[in-house]
Amino acid sequence: MTLHPQTVEQFLKSCGTVPPGGLGPFTSLLSHIGIIGKSLARDLRVAGLIDVLGTTGQTNVQGETVKKLDEIANEIFVRVLRQSGVVRALVSEEMEKPVVLSAAGEGSPYLVLFDPLDGSSNTDVNMPLGSIFSVVLPGNGEGRVADADLMRRGVDQVAAGYLLFGSSTMLVVAAGNGVHGFTLDPWLGEYLLTHQNIKIPSKGTVYGANEGNYNKWPPGMRKYFDQLKLVDKAKRRPYSGRYSGCLVADVHRILLVGGIYLYPGETEKPEGKLRLLYEANPLALIVEQAGGAASTGTNRILDIEPVALHQRVPLIIGSRGDVQEAEQCLQGKSSA
């Protein structure tokens, strides 16, 4: 007898635990994020046919050139989450300020932070893309939503996840009961459970990094990176390099097969490039719940106290053993 995979709703009901905010609201939230994934997957499949490639000619709050699909993805997130009825406020890396969707006490328990389209440099070349989201609960549930309500440590997240748009569309979620992956069946229009209770290997043989920045990295980071390429059978080296230019795709690979993803700070830009609230925190929660680790090189990502909505951080993430070796090398404590 063939067993049919569970939908997201069926899986949540079968877990026997109450998700943060309640089963009904949380199921609704994931359902609407799934709708976002379907909408974006549809647009990406025909991107070259409907004039959505290229740039808008504008820059976002980060000072980065805005791709047309960045803007479209952000608009889809805002529109769909507004319709969900369970999101009180949201903010993304494309918006300078949060958007308040409902008042306190209207049955909207969640605050959502998101990167609407990760890897947007890939939009014009038909390469993998993703979306990342982080979910927190309001601090006291009363009054207007302020920036401080959204600037929470990673450990305060009640859920996080990402959408991956590649050969298939996937929704990967962590909400305190493990990390689970659902693949979109385009014929049924449902996300079906395909990767239950994902566990990242304690060590891997793959690295992902933008090697073009090598000469900008601190000496300890360069030393670690060099040693990943040395022949060392005991440590299963050299590692294989895999880098797509899409953070979601690269971390997804590491999550499944083990290894390490590196986007360190640079000598002249020690703060790094990736955003803490929209990228590093949600991916760190996912990887940690799968048994891995995420660090700046000196501090655990999930322990960082945010000081700004669009704060940047270095990111070293992946198998726990690999991240620990990178930290030691970066801090000059030992060789890798």
- In 10 A of CB 48, how many CB atoms? 11
- pLDDT, tens only, 183-234: 999 999 999 999 999 999 999 999 999 999 999 999 999 999 999 998 888 8
Counting Cα atoms < 13 Å in the Cβ hemisphere of 121 gives: 5
Helices 219-228 & 320-330, crossing angle to 10 degrees?
140
SS (HEC) of 210-235:
CHHHHHHCCHHHHHHHHHHCCCEHHH
**What is the pTM for the complete model shown?**
0.92
Concatenated DSSP letters of 62-86: TSPEEEHHHHHHHHHHHHHHHHHS-
Residue 155 has pLDDT above 80, yes or no: yes
Domains of the chain by range and CATH?
8-195 (3.30.540.10), 206-330 (3.40.190.80)
Residue in 115, 89, 135, 314 with CA at minimum distance from that of residue 209:
314
What is the phi/psi pair of residue 173, to 5°?
Answer: -135, 140
Q: How confident is the model at residue 16 (pLDDT cuts 50, 70, 90)?
A: confident
Q: Which residues pair with 313 in a beta bridge?
A: 274
pLDDT at 1: 36
Give the chain's mean pLDDT: 89
Residue 111 has pLDDT above 60, yes or no: yes
Residue 34 has pLDDT above 80, yes or no: yes
CA–CA separation, 180 and 194 (whole Å):
8
Residue 255 has pLDDT above 50, yes or no: yes
Residue 314 has pLDDT above 70, yes or no: yes
- Residue at 36: amino acid letter: I
Burial of 135 (0-12, 13-18, 19+ CB in 10 A): buried
